[in-house]
């Protein structure tokens, strides 16, 4: 079993349907208001999963003075780039080329490792050939995966040039046959029709028609066909238009429907309303694709193949849509029909506060840099909470030796140290509250021994650095201890209610006593998922005095306030969940 690491999750206020401190008025009778006020947060509620985040994932809006989570911020894409070649892709290319890298970056269709272009070794490696700069002949390059040794030659694809693989691949089908794009197909046909009707030309035309349409070509053909139909409404008028005005097959009704969505003028189209119905595509040139329902070839191929020859669901879903899929039906059942996957592009995104629309995180637009122009993370505004088991050396011998990751013994009190670290440059006053028993079927008892305390300000970082240097010179462990006040040790390791356990420059440790519940069920039922995890919901309220306007942490981007002397009282309150450990099942 994986060891249990204590964790602290913080609830983002965005998921709270009713604002804190105010009772929900819509769905609660007025009589229960005081009860509503004492409403506590249940970490086991199904919805809680979606509102709890580790501190690192949270941002902070300086204008709203509120925590923002990944779920409530709105994102804007700053840059698109390929994660493999790290080239930026302009958004104009994105519209025409799609959201994948069009250079030579591909992933293996079998294992999704990266593919690289290699020369195919046709001759044995011979040192005497070192100087012979033999020009690579056609088909000299292939894509190979250095993780699973897959090679594009397995699906009959090789390349003439080592660059521009994406363009080359678009012209080759699996097996090495050339693949015509819709445009090429049309040009080829036009060329043939100019040459007359000799037997060779007819054969060549049949060859073009014989090539099965793939999804891309079919769509292109259909689109061309229908747009020509719309442009030329008289074509294909079959005289039934007077009856078929309501049908969807007439260009007029189609354009009327389209205008409903695009907001075009309806009256304009009324003029054409008497025009006839469109005809449907009739040839493959127009995008007609006769579905081949005869799958006996596939079935016989399945009979002959191993399990490993068939593509897994994951492999199929990783395949880029449309690219060279032979048919709409029966696509990619075998690994031999999989194609190299061009890398999906990645983005750099900036984030906005959902309420005030201020930007709270903005990376530099260049792909290579990792700096941020704006980065208002919650970690530099609200205290971090770390959990550590507190081991009390018990004189009677029965020491509660609890390590991180150990299972908690039911009904035996254990103590945990919660260390709060203040990131801001003001002294903060922290008030904690927690329900005396955890919610759920197994109520563990929780007592915070010191629910109210002050944490000193986070002084300048240079003070800390200088202090550390001093400490390093003396190179003794004890010299650092004058900065700390070990109340616990001074008091002879006695737990005192209302006393801080230990405090440092900008941090305070307090003790929480937990009596884990017994996980025994009377009816002998089974535990539900994660019911043995002891989670404590804790309400944290921070108060501090901030300089008016000028904001609290060093990375503030807001304008400096006019009257700096004036202090303003601020407070922030939120729920958090402390994951303490797992209770032993007896």
Partner 1 sequence: MSRRPPRGEYIETDTGNKVARKATLVGTQNIMLGGKTVIQPEVMIRGDLVRSIQSSSTSSSGGATPNNTAVAIGRYCFLSRGACLRPPGRLYKGAFTYMPLRMGDHVFVGPGSVIQAASIGSHVYIGARVVVGEFAILKDYVRVLDGTVIPPNMVVPSFTIVAGQPARVIGEVPEGGHEAFELRDLYKTVGNNPHPAPA
Positions touching partner 1 (CB under 8 A) are 55-59, 70, 81, 83-86, 111-114, 116, 127, 129-130, 145-148, 346, 351, 361, 367, 370, 372, 375, 377-379, 386, 388, 419, 421, 468, 471, 475-477, 480, 502, 504, 507, 509
Helix (H) or strand (E) segment spanning residue 318: helix 313-318
* Sign of torsion over alpha carbons 245, 251, 254, 258: negative
Helix (H) or strand (E) segment spanning residue 414: strand 414-421
Both tokens assigned to 173: 């089908």
Q: Which is nearer to partner 1, 370 or 586 (CB)?
A: 370
Minimum CB distance to partner 1, residue 406 (Å): 19
Q: For the stretch 462-483, what's the b/e string if a residue is b when 16 or more beta carbons lie within 10 angstroms of its beta carbon?
A: eeeeeeeeeeeeeeeeeeeeee
Q: Which is nearer to partner 1, 60 or 442 (CB)?
A: 60
- Residue closest to 170 by CA, chosen among 343, 344, 339: 339
Q: Which is nearer to partner 1, 174 or 419 (CB)?
A: 419
**DSSP letter, residue 40:** -
Write down the residue that tokens 């009390």 correspond to: 392
Q: Which is nearer to partner 1, 254 or 385 (CB)?
A: 385
Minimum CB distance to partner 1, residue 198 (Å): 52
| Torsion angle (degrees, nearest 10) of CA 302, 307, 313, 314 | -140
Q: Which is nearer to partner 1, 147 or 248 (CB)?
A: 147
Q: Which is nearer to partner 1, 222 or 385 (CB)?
A: 385
Minimum CB distance to partner 1, residue 446 (Å): 22
Minimum CB distance to partner 1, residue 365 (Å): 13
Q: Which is nearer to partner 1, 286 or 456 (CB)?
A: 456
Minimum CB distance to partner 1, residue 377 (Å): 4
- Residue closest to 480 by CA, chosen among 495, 469, 493, 492: 469
Q: 168: how many CB neighbours lie within 10 A of its CB?
A: 17
Cβ(535)–Cβ(578) under 8 Å? yes
- Residue closest to 450 by CA, chosen among 433, 436, 471: 433
Minimum CB distance to partner 1, residue 112 (Å): 6
Question: How many whole angstroms separate alpha carbon 487 and alpha carbon 85?
Answer: 56
Q: Which three-class secondary structure state does DSSP give residue 192? A: helix
Q: 466: Cβ–Cβ under 8 A, 6 or more apart, which residues? A: none
Helix H, strand E, coil C: the string for 216-282 is HHHHHHHHHHHHHHHHCCCCCCCCCCCCHHHCCCCHHHHHHHHHHHHCCCHHHHHCCCCCCCCCCCC
Cβ(8)–Cβ(578) under 8 Å? yes
Minimum CB distance to partner 1, residue 4 (Å): 16
Q: Which is nearer to partner 1, 224 or 555 (CB)?
A: 555
Q: Which is nearer to partner 1, 60 or 159 (CB)?
A: 60
Both tokens assigned to 426: 């003001």
Question: How many whole angstroms separate alpha carbon 465 and alpha carbon 220?
Answer: 66
Q: Which is nearer to partner 1, 34 or 127 (CB)?
A: 127
Minimum CB distance to partner 1, residue 111 (Å): 5
Q: Which three-class secondary structure state does DSSP give residue 471? A: helix
Minimum CB distance to partner 1, residue 73 (Å): 10
């Amino acid at each position: 079993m994986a060891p249990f690491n204590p964790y602290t999750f913080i609830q983002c206020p965005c998921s709270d349907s009713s604002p804190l401190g105010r009772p929900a008025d819509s769905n609660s009778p007025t009589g229960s208001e005081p009860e509503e006020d004492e409403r506590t947060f249940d970490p086991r509620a199904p919805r809680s999963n979606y509102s709890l985040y580790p501190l690192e994932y949270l941002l902070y809006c300086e204008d709203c003075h509120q925590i923002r989570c990944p779920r409530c911020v709105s994102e804007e894409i700053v840059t698109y780039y390929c994660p493999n070649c790290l080239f930026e892709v302009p958004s104009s290319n994105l519209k025409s080329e799609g959201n994948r890298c069009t250079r030579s970056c591909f992933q293996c269709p079998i294992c999704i490792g990266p593919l690289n272009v290699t020369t195919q070794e046709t001759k044995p490696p011979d040192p005497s050939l070192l100087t012979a700069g033999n020009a690579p002949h056609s088909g000299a390059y292939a894509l190979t995966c250095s993780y699973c040794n897959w090679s594009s030659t397995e699906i009959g694809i090789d390349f003439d040039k080592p660059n521009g693989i994406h363009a080359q691949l678009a012209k080759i089908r699996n097996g090495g046959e050339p693949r015509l794009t819709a445009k090429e197909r049309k040009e080829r046909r036009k060329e043939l029709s100019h040459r007359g009707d000799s037997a060779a030309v007819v054969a060549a035309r049949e060859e073009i028609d014989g090539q099965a349409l793939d999804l891309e070509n079919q769509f292109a053909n259909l689109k061309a066909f229908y747009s020509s139909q719309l442009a030329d409404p008289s074509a294909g008028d079959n005289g039934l238009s007077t009856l078929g005005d309501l049908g969807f097959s007439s260009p007029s009704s189609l354009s009327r429907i389209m205008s409903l969505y695009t907001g075009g003028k309806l009256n304009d189209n009324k003029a054409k309303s008497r025009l006839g119905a469109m005809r449907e595509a009739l040839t493959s040139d127009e995008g007609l694709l006769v579905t081949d329902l005869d799958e006996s070839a596939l079935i016989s191929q399945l009979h002959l193949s191993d399990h490993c020859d068939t593509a897994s669901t994951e492999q199929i879903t990783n395949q880029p849509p449309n690219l060279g899929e032979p048919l709409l039906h029966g696509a990619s059942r075998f690994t031999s029909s999989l194609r190299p996957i061009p890398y999906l592009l990645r983005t750099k995104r900036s984030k906005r506060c959902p309420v005030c629309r201020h930007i709270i995180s903005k990376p530099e637009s260049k792909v290579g840099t990792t700096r941020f122009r704006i980065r208002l993370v919650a970690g530099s505004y609200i205290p971090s909470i770390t959990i550590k088991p507190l081991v009390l050396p018990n004189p009677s011998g029965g020491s509660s030796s609890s390590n991180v990751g150990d299972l908690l013994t039911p009904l035996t009190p254990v103590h945990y140290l919660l260390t709060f670290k203040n990131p801001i440059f003001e002294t903060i006053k922290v008030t904690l509250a927690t329900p005396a028993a955890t919610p759920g079927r197994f109520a563990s008892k929780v007592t915070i021994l010191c629910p109210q305390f002050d944490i000193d300000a986070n002084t300048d970082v240079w003070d800390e650095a200088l202090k550390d240097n001093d400490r390093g010179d003396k190179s003794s462990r004890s010299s650092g201890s004058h900065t700390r006040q070990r109340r616990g040790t001074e008091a002879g390791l006695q737990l005192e209610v209302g006393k801080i356990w230990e405090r440092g420059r900008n941090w305070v440790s307090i003790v929480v006593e937990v009596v884990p519940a017994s996980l025994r069920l009377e009816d002998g039922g089974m535990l539900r998922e994660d019911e043995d995890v002891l989670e404590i919901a804790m309400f944290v309220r921070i108060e501090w005095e901030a300089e008016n306007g000028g904001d609290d942490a060093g990375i503030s981007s807001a304008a400096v306030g006019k009257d700096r002397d004036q202090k303003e009282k601020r407070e922030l309150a939120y729920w958090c969940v402390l994951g303490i450990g797992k209770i032993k099942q007896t």
